[in-house]
Structure 1
Amino acid sequence: MTVLDQFRVDGEVALVTGGASGIGAGYAEAMAEGGADVAIADVDASGLADTADHLRAETDATVLPIEADVTDEDDAERMVERTVDDLGGLDVCFANAGISGLGNKITNVSLSDWREINGVNLDGVFLTTREAGSIMEEQGHGRLIVTASMLSFVAEPAIGIGPYVASKGGAKQLTKQLAAELAPDVRVNAVCPGYVRTSIGHGLLTETAAESPAVEDLHDEIEGRTPLGRFAEPSELKGIALYLASEASSYCTGSTFVVDGGWTAI
């Protein structure tokens, strides 16, 4: 097997939560281009349909859109069961669904906002990986990939997204615990993106700037603080997704892969 062959996922089945747009849609595209059939789950029915149509037009993959809320225990179980039943198995699962919330200092965050953000970003990852991990543990193989964040390593006071930072720190540690518990048959790793041009990464800055004139130039400031000088595009995470989903990463588990344009290096 050549090194390029190791990156193929021909004949495998992948589930991507938050797959209607942004990073999740990029993950789904990477898997489809690598040879896998793909289930994409999201609460955004319109986005799911558009992404499914795009993947079918651009690849030979069978694509299964599933409208599901990862914070709902029944939905989490159902989306995994549908993937297995309709696509014939589950080899790879990306626990990717997430939200950011509006910028606010921790001392001004309501309990309901705290619970909403942690509900998606941490509870949703728990439910997704619990259901998918159970299937993989039973069948004796599989890969779980969690979308954490570079902000699981560092704080971001300029925006004030404490609940998001806390939730992603929890997701990173959950990744390590899952890796320890499910080894050696199931590998579990986390991708920690920096600022990505998505509805979460880019939209949050727009909303924050609209509320506070003091941060009108926050977008430019973030690009200036990033060594590579720009936001990432979702497509720039496709390579790490395929690496972690394939045999190319066969000796990686419990690891966090930071893709942040150098943000955490300085």
Structure 2
Amino acid sequence: MDLPFRFGVSAFTTMPWSFERDVAHYAQAGVDAIEVVEAKLDDDRLAEQMDAITAAGLTISGVQPRVRTFFASRMMPDPPALEDRVAALRGTIERLAKFAPGVPFITNTGAHPKGDMAEAMRVVARELGELGRIAADHGVLMALEPLNPSSVNVESAIWTIDQALDVIHDSGSGAVGLCLDYWNIWQQDDVEGAIARAGDRIFTVQASDWRTPRSFADRIVPGDGEIPLDRLLAATHATGYDRPYVIEIFSNDVADSLYDGDLDAVITRSRDGLARAWMAA
């Protein structure tokens, strides 16, 4: 079945696979775009690996940097110093931008060591302003992702679309926009209104589904959980968003981990679940 939108898959969804297997299996499954996870890349083979994406008929929907938060987080504690983390983000842009023109590089705040969310937002806005300039010089974008409230002061200092939009505004950079992950924001008050307020600053969209988490990484296939994906898709489409809709699933430390099962089936089921939600919308 042809989809009325471009379908992408994050390499986080198939984390047990190598980069090469991601590319081969996504292409076989009819995936349009891959969200590249830098941690899966070999620095000595970047050009070869990036060329493999194009050769397989895929585009790049986004890049997940190896170090993607400004402050340390549970998932990414090292390096601890802000300046080293910013330098790592800058290095990712400089290494990968030429292979991914126009693509958003995804980031989030991380957790302020003293829980000072206000300072975290100020610092991230300042640093994103500079990284936005560097990204623009390299022909790419930066996309800031608010995380679910369960991640506050663990992975993130922001948890709503509007907080992210405040940081994006304060960055002063037109190259800085929003990474809209439905799993993270679906419980926000007036979420559809917030999506409308984001408008053309939505640079990438990620989808999965929600059950009450059994671990820090317990996402499920779209259509298998509680998220009103039809409403969120309709609100996003109404903004004029026309980039890929990307499946991003994490599944660690749970007895029924999707990572332990048939990941080809996860891709197919995710595609079908997102298509059903789109038709319902």
TM-score range, shorter chain: 0.3 to 0.5
TM-score, L = length of structure 2: 0.38
Q: Which has the bigger relative contact order, CA under 8 A and spacing at least 6?
A: 1
Q: Which structure dedicates a bigger proportion of its chain to helix?
A: 1
